[in-house]
Chain A
Amino acid sequence: MSADPLKDIRLQEYTLDNLPLLARLRKGLLHTRPAVCIERARHVTKYLRDMSREDEPMMTRYAGAVAHFLKEKQAFFFDDNLLAGTTCAKPFGAPVYPEWTGMTIWPELEVINTREKNPQQLTAAEADELNFEIYPYWMDRNVLEVTRKRHHNPPCMRLFERIVFFIGSKAGTISHTVPYYELALEKGVAYIIAQAALKEASLKAQGPLNDEQSRSLQFYQAVQTALEGVLAYARRLSERAAELAQQERHPLRKANFEQMAAVCARVPAQPARTFREAINALWIIQVAIHAENINMAMSPGRLDQILYPYYRADMASGGLTIPQALELIGCLWLKLNDNTNLVPETAEELFGGAGTVPAVTLGGVTAKGEDAVNDLTYLMLRVTELLKTRDPSLNARYHQEINTKAYRNRVAEVISTTQSVPAIHNDRVDIKTLERQGLATEHARDYAVIGCVELASAGRSYDASSSIMLNLASVLELALYNGKRPVTGDDQIGPATGEAAAFTGFEEFWNAFAKQFQWLASQAIELNELFGRMYQEILPSPLLSAFFQGPLDKGQDLIFGGALYNSSGATHIGFADTVDSLSAIERAVFLDRKCTFEELLDALRKNFEGYETLHAYLVNRTPKYGGDDPAAQRNAQRVVRLLFDFYQAHTNYRGGKYRPGFWTMTNHAGQGKLCGALPNGRKANKVFASGITPVSQAAVSLAGCLQAVGGLDPLCIPGGEAFNLKYPALSGAEDIERFGAGIETYFECGGLHIQCNIMSYDMLLEAKENPEKYPELLVRVSGYSAYFKDLNDAMKEEIITRTAYDLGSGQAVAFPEKNSGMLGTK
Chain B
Amino acid sequence: MWQTLLNKILLRGQRAESAAKQFLESLKSEAAEGFLELLLKLMSLVFYIDPGFRRNIENFQGRYLFRSQDRGITVAAVFQDSRLKVSQEEIKDTNVTVIFRNGKALMNFLLSPKPDILGSLLRQDLSIDGNLNYLYKFAYMAKHLQLKFMPRS
Contact A115 B140 (CB under 8 A): no
Q: Is A734 an interface residue (CB 8 A)?
A: no
User: Given the known A-B contacts A131-B56, A163-B121, are A108 and B115 also in contact in the complex, defined by CB atoms under 8 Å?
Assistant: yes
Which residue in B124, B133, B139, B143 is a CB contact (below 8 Å) of A489? B124
Contacts of B119 in A (CB 8 A): 346, 349-350
The residues of A that contact B115 with a CB separation of less than 8 Å are 107-108, 111, 344-345
Q: Are B131 and A106 in contact (CB under 8 A)?
A: no
Most buried by A among B114, B121, B129, B137: B114
With A132-B55, A163-B122, A674-B122 already in contact, the answer to whether A145 and B117 are too (CB < 8 A) is no
The interface size of chain A toward B, counting residues with CB under 8 Å, comes to 39
Given contacts A106-B139, A110-B147, A136-B60, A350 and B122 within 8 Å (CB-CB): yes
The residues of B that contact A136 with a CB separation of less than 8 Å are 59-60
Confirm or deny: A243 has a beta carbon within 8 angstroms of a beta carbon on chain B. no
A488 touches B128 (CB 8 A): no
B121 touches A162 (CB 8 A): yes
A162 and B124 contact, Cβ closer than 8 Å, known pairs A107-B143, A109-B140: yes
Q: Provided the pairs A132-B55, A140-B133, A148-B131 are in contact, do residues A106 and B140 lie with their beta carbons within 8 angstroms? A: yes
Check A153 against B129 for contact (C-beta < 8 Å): yes
Contacts of B129 in A (CB 8 A): 153, 158
Judge if A139 is at the interface, Cβ distance under 8 Å.
yes
Query: In the assembled complex, which residues on chain A have CB atoms less than 8 Å from the CB atom of B121?
Result: 161-163
- The interface residues of chain A lying within 8 Å CB-to-CB of B133 are 103, 106, 135, 138-140, 142, 145
A142 CB contacts on chain B under 8 angstroms? 133
Kindly provide the distance from the CB of A647 to the nearest chain B CB, expressed in whole angstroms.
26
Contact present for B124 and A139 (CB under 8 Å): no
Chain B hits for A349, CB < 8 A: 119
Within 8 A of B (CB), among A103-134: 103-104, 106-111, 115-116, 131-132
A802 to B11, CA, bound (A): 63
Q: List the A side residues contacting B114 at CB < 8 Å.
A: 108, 111, 115-116, 345
Residues in A neighbouring B131, C-beta threshold 8 A: 139-140, 145, 148-149
Cβ contact within 8 Å between B137 and A344: no
Residues of B within 8 A of A487 (CB): 124
Answer yes or no: A144 CB below 8 A from chain B CBs: yes
Q: Give the nearest-CB partner of A142 in chain B.
A: B133
Nearest residue (CB) in A for B58 is: A132
- Out of B137, B144, B147, name the residue touching A139 (CB < 8 Å): B137
Contact B128 A161 (CB under 8 A): yes
Cβ contacts under 8 Å, B47 to chain A: none
Q: Is A754 an interface residue (CB 8 A)?
A: no
B:95-153 near A, CB below 8 Å: 110, 114-119, 121-122, 124, 127-134, 136-137, 139-140, 143-144, 147
A469 within 8 A of B: no
Q: Is the CB of A350 within 8 A of B147?
A: no
Is A406 interfacial (CB-CB < 8 Å)? no
Task: Indicate if the CB atoms of B140 and A107 lie closer than 8 Å.
Answer: yes
In the complex, the answer to whether A488 meets B124 with C-beta atoms within 8 Å is yes
- Bound-state CA distance A296–B66 (Å) is 35
Whether B144 lies near A110 (C-beta < 8 A) is yes
Q: How far is the CA of A589 from the CA of B124 in the complex (A)?
A: 32
Instruction: Select from chain B the residue with minimum beta-carbon distance to A130.
Output: B140
Report B-chain residues with C-beta under 8 Å of the C-beta of A139: 131, 133-134, 137
Q: How far is the CA of A107 from the CA of B144 in the complex (A)?
A: 9
Please report the C-alpha to C-alpha distance between residue A798 and residue B28 in the assembled complex, in whole angstroms: 35
Question: In the complex the two chains form, what is the Cα distance from A103 to B60 in whole Å?
Answer: 17
- Specify the chain A residue showing the minimal Cβ separation from B137: A106
For residue A115, which residues in chain B have a CB less than 8 angstroms away from its CB? 114
- Bound-state CA distance A349–B131 (Å) is 24
- Which residue of the partner chain A has the closest CB to B117? A107
Contact A344 B118 (CB under 8 A): yes
Nearest CB in chain B to that of A171: its residue: B132
Residue in A closest to B114 when the chains form the complex, CB atoms: A345
Q: Mark B29-45, 1 if CB is under 8 A from A, else 0.
A: 00000000000000000
A 540-564 to B, binary, CB cutoff 8 A, 1 in contact else 0? 0000000000000000000000000
Closest to A351 in B: B118
Chain B residue, CB-CB nearest to A673: B122
> CB-CB contacts of A35-74 with B at 8 A, as 1s and 0s?
0000000000000000000000000000000000000000
Residues of B with C-beta under 8 A to A161:
121, 128, 132
A164: which B residues are within 8 A, CB to CB? 122
Q: Which listed residue (A107, A132, A162, A346) contacts B139, Cβ 8 A?
A: A107
Could you tell me the distance in whole angstroms from the C-beta of B117 to the nearest C-beta in chain A?
A: 6
Instruction: Say yes or no for A347: interface residue by CB 8 A criterion.
Output: yes
Shortest distance between the CB of B36 and any CB in chain A (Å): 16
Contacts of B137 in A (CB 8 A): 106, 135, 139
The docked-state distance in angstroms from the alpha carbon of A145 to that of B139 is 18
| A158 contact set on B, CB distance < 8 A | 129
* Distance of B86 from chain A, by nearest CB (Å): 20
Whether A110 pairs with B128 at a CB distance below 8 angstroms is no
Q: How far is the CB of A684 from chain B (nearest CB, A)?
A: 14
Chain B, range 39-95, C-beta contacts under 8 Å to A: 55-56, 59-60
> In the bound complex, how far is the Cα of B141 from the Cα of A109, in angstroms?
10
- CB-CB under 8 A from B140, the residues of chain A are 106-107, 109-110, 131
Across the interface, B116 reaches (CB within 8 A) one of A109, A144, A346, A489, namely A346
Q: How far is the CB of A122 from chain B (nearest CB, A)?
A: 13
A144 to B124, CA, bound (A): 20
Shortest Cβ distance from A674 into B: residue? B122
Question: Measured between alpha carbons, how far is A107 from B133 in the docked complex, in Å?
Answer: 10
Report the separation of the CA atoms of residues A702 and B117 in the bound assembly, to the nearest whole angstrom. Answer: 43
Once bound together, how far apart are the Cα atoms of A162 and B60, in whole Å?
A: 28
CB proximity to B under 8 Å, residues A137-169: 138-140, 142, 144-145, 148-149, 153, 158, 161-164
With A148-B131, A346-B116 as known contacts, state yes or no: A111 contacts B124, CB within 8 Å.
no
CB contacts under 8 Å to B, within A328-385, are 344-347, 349-350
Residues of chain A lying within 8 A (CB to CB) of residue B110: 107
**CA gap between A136 and B56 in the complex, in Å:** 9
How far apart are B63's CB and chain A's nearest CB, in angstroms? 13
Most buried by B among A116, A164, A344: A344
Q: Which residues of A contact B56 (CB under 8 A)?
A: 131-132
Closest 10 CB pairs of A and B: A107-B115, A107-B139, A106-B136, A346-B118, A346-B119, A139-B133, A106-B140, A107-B140, A145-B131, A103-B133
What are 28 A-B contacts defined by CB distance under 8 Å?
A103-B136, A104-B118, A106-B137, A106-B140, A107-B110, A107-B117, A107-B140, A108-B115, A108-B143, A110-B143, A110-B147, A111-B147, A115-B114, A132-B55, A135-B133, A138-B133, A140-B131, A142-B133, A144-B132, A145-B132, A149-B131, A161-B121, A161-B132, A162-B124, A345-B116, A347-B118, A350-B118, A488-B124
Known: A107-B110, A145-B131, A350-B119. 5 other contacts (CB 8 A): A104-B117, A107-B143, A108-B143, A109-B140, A144-B132
